[in-house]
């Protein structure tokens, strides 16, 4: 059984996002769920990879900002 440590819900346009930091017997992880048009997609990032995951997102956004300037 997962325990929710922290959770946030966002609505962007017609999509709902659920960002949850959870833990279970195997460790802690970030779970991001997208619901749109009756479909649900989920990704899970182990806590050991959160720094790398966040850095990748930052890099992509920084590249996008440079491209639009």
Q: Which residues contact 25 (CB under 8 A, 6 or more apart)?
A: none
**Domains delineated in the chain:** 3-68 (3.10.450.700)
69: pLDDT strictly greater than 70: no
Q: 1: which 2 tokens?
A: 């059984």
The pLDDT tens digits for 2-37 are 999 999 999 999 999 999 999 999 999 999 999 999
Partners of 4 in the beta sheet? 22
Partners of 9 in the beta sheet? 18
The pLDDT tens digits for 30-59 are 999 999 999 999 999 999 999 999 999 999
pTM of the model: 0.86
Calculate ∠ Cα 54-12-53, nearest 5°.
Answer: 10
């Amino acid at each position: 059984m997962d325990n929710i440590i922290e959770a946030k819900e966002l609505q962007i346009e017609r999509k709902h996002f659920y960002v949850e930091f959870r833990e279970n017997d195997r460790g802690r992880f970030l779970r991001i769920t997208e619901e749109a048009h009756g479909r649900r997609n989920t990704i899970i990032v182990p806590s050991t990879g959160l720094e790398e995951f966040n850095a990748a997102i930052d890099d992509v956004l920084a590249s996008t900002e440079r491209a639009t300037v």
